[in-house]
Homo-oligomer: A and B are copies of this chain.
Amino acid sequence: MSLINDNYLELEQRYLFAEVAARVSAFSEKNPEASIIRMGIGDVTQPLVPAVIQAMHKAVEECAHSETFRGYGPEPGYDFLRQAIVDNDYAGLGIKASEVFVSDGAKSDTGNIGDIFSANNVIGITDPVYPVYVDTNTMTGREIVLIPCNPGNGFTGDIPDRKLDIIYLCYPNNPTGAVITRDKLKAWVDYALANHSIIFYDAAYEAFIRDPLIPHSIYEIEGAKQCAIEFRSFSKTAGFTGIRCAFTVVPEQLTALSAQRKEISLNHLWDRRQSCKFNGASYISQRGAEAVYSPEGREQVKAVIDGYLDTASVIRNSLQKAGLNPTGGENSPYIWAQTPAGMPSWDFFDLLLERAGVVITPGAGFGQGGEGYFRVTAFNTKDKSLQAMEKLTELVKSL
Q: Given A244-B282, A281-B244: A64 and B53 within 8 A (CB)?
A: yes
Query: Given contacts A48-B63, A117-B3, are A279 and B241 in contact (CB under 8 A)?
Result: yes
Contact residue among B65, B69, B166, B279 (Cβ-Cβ distance under 8 Å from A108): B279
Q: Bin the interface of chain A by size.
A: 35 or more
Question: In the complex, are the beta carbons of B66 and A45 less than 8 A apart?
Answer: yes
Residues of A48-63 contacting chain B, CB below 8 A: 48, 50, 53, 56-57, 60-61, 63
Instruction: Kindly list chain B residues whose C-beta atoms are within 8 Å of the C-beta of A196.
Output: 1-2
Given A256-B2, A257-B3, the answer on whether A139 and B276 have CB atoms closer than 8 Å is: yes
Whether the Cβ atoms of B6 and A118 lie closer than 8 Å is yes
- Indicate if the CB atoms of A5 and B66 lie closer than 8 Å: no
The reply on A44 being an interface residue by CB < 8 A is yes
Are B71 and A197 interface neighbours, CB within 8 A? Answer: no
Residues of B within 8 A of A41 (CB): 72
Are B278 and A105 in contact (CB-based, < 8 A)? Answer: yes
Closest to A62 in B: B47
Scoring A60, A272, A284 by chain B CB atoms within 10 A of each residue's CB, the highest score goes to A60
Central interface residue in A136, A163, A244, by most chain B CB within 10 Å: A244
Q: Say which residue of B3, B18, B47, B243 sits within 8 Å of A284 (CB atoms).
A: B243
Most interface-central of A71, A119, A135, A281 (chain B CB within 10 A) = A71
Tell whether A120 is near chain B: CB-to-CB under 8 Å: yes
Identical copies of this chain, number? 2
Given A3-B165, A163-B1; A242-B45 close (CB under 8 Å):
no
Residue contact B15 to A277, C-beta cutoff 8 Å = no
Interface string of A237-260 (1 = CB under 8 A from B): 001011110000000000011110
A 278-290 to B, binary, CB cutoff 8 A, 1 in contact else 0: 1111111100000
A200 → B minimal CB distance (Å): 10
Cross-chain contact B5 with A117 (CB below 8 angstroms): yes
* Cβ contact within 8 Å between A53 and B63: yes
Chain B residues closer than 8 Å to A166, beta-carbon distance: 2
Does A269 have its Cβ within 8 Å of any Cβ on chain B? yes
Most-contacted residue by chain B among A9, A56, A259 (CB, 10 A):
A56
In the bound complex, residues from chain B placing their C-beta under 8 Å from that of A117 are 2-5
Report B-chain residues with C-beta under 8 Å of the C-beta of A206.
none
Q: Is A127 an interface residue (CB 8 A)?
A: no
A361 to chain B, nearest CB (A): 14
The minimal Cβ–Cβ distance linking A321 to chain B, given in whole angstroms, is 29
The smallest C-beta distance from A195 to any residue of chain B, in angstroms, reads: 7
Which of the residues B47, B116, B132 comes within 8 Å of A69, measured between beta carbons?
B47
Would you call A279 and B69 a contact (CB within 8 A)? no
Within 8 A of B (CB), among A282-334: 282-285
Check B44 against A66 for contact (C-beta < 8 Å). no
Q: Does A273 contact B (CB under 8 A)?
A: yes
Q: Looking at the assembled complex, report how far the CB atom of A102 sits from the nearest CB atom of chain B, in whole angstroms.
A: 12
A121 within 8 A of B: yes
Beta-carbon contact of A69 and B48 below 8 Å: yes
Inter-chain contact A72/B276, CB cutoff 8 Å = no
Residues of B within 8 A of A65 (CB): 47
Contact, CB under 8 Å: B5 / A115:
yes
- Docked pose: A132 CA to B41 CA in angstroms: 35
Is A275 located at the chain interface by the 8 A CB criterion? yes
12 A-B pairs in the complex with CB atoms less than 8 angstroms apart: A2-B257, A3-B256, A4-B266, A15-B275, A15-B276, A45-B66, A45-B71, A53-B61, A53-B64, A60-B60, A63-B242, A115-B139
Top 10 closest pairs, chain A to chain B, by CB? A111-B277, A3-B118, A43-B71, A71-B241, A242-B283, A2-B256, A47-B69, A2-B165, A1-B196, A2-B198
